[in-house]
């Protein structure tokens, strides 16, 4: 059995400056044309955001919900597709922090092929919330240490201009 610690079929952190994950586009990620299915890019962004937050805060989103009744659901997503990516090709997805509000934040994503071509860009807007009852949530200010870490990261690795 091969060591899977560098298995490109699962997202792997390949850089922390800026935070970047690499993943192999799987056949199941593609449409009948053999290129990444549009909706799959959203999964890629959410996975990169999850890995970014674990690296930044040391906590998993699941733990936030179960331990403190808080969370960071995404309330907006946008993507631009610039180059088709075929199944079997690896891509890198870099994460940048944009706007920071009291409870909300923007994460920007730039994905490149191994040749360095930008294949998609995207943005997720998340809101820090607390659970206030069955099926009910309310916006809540981000913890100060998280906001400081996000601000420091945003300053060190600003969103590249288009």
| Local confidence pLDDT in tens for the 162 residues of the chain | 333 345 555 679 898 899 999 999 999 999 999 999 999 999 999 999 999 999 998 888 788 777 888 888 999 999 999 999 999 999 999 999 999 999 999 999 999 999 999 999 999 999 999 989 888 999 999 999 999 999 999 999 999 986
Tokens of 109: 């994503």
C-beta neighbour count of 153 within 10 angstroms: 20
**What are residue 155's phi and psi, to 5 degrees?**
-70, -40
For the sheet with 19-24, list strands across it: 12-16, 19-24, 90-100, 104-113, 118-127, 74-81
Give the separation between CA 134 and CA 116, rounded to whole angstroms.
46
Give the separation between CA 79 and CA 105, rounded to whole angstroms.
17
- Which domains does the chain carry? 12-64+77-124+142-156 (3.10.129.10)
Place of tokens 């100060």: 144
pTM over the 0.85 mark: yes
Give the separation between CA 68 and CA 131, rounded to whole angstroms.
9
pLDDT tens figures, 138-162 = 999 999 999 999 999 999 999 998 6
Place of tokens 């922390």: 16
Pick from 98, 144, 137: which is nearest to 121 by CA?
98
């Amino acid at each position: 059995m091969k060591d899977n610690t560098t298995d490109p079929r699962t997202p792997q952190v390949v850089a922390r400056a800026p935070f970047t994950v690499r993943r192999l586009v799987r056949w199941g990620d593609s449409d009948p044309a053999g290129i990444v299915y549009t909706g799959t890019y959203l999964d890629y962004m959410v996975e990169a955001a999850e890995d970014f937050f674990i690296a930044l805060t040391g906590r998993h989103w699941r733990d936030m919900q179960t331990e403190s009744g808080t969370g960071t659901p995404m309330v907006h997503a946008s993507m631009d597709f610039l180059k088709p990516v075929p199944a079997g090709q690896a891509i890198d997805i870099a994460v940048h922090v944009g706007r920071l509000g009291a409870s909300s934040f923007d994460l920007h994503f730039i994905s490149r092929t191994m040749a360095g071509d930008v294949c998609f860009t995207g943005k997720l807007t998340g809101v820090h919330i607390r659970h206030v009852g069955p099926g009910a949530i309310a916006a809540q200010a981000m913890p100060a240490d998280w906001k400081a870490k996000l601000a420091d990261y945003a300053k060190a690795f600003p969103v590249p201009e288009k």
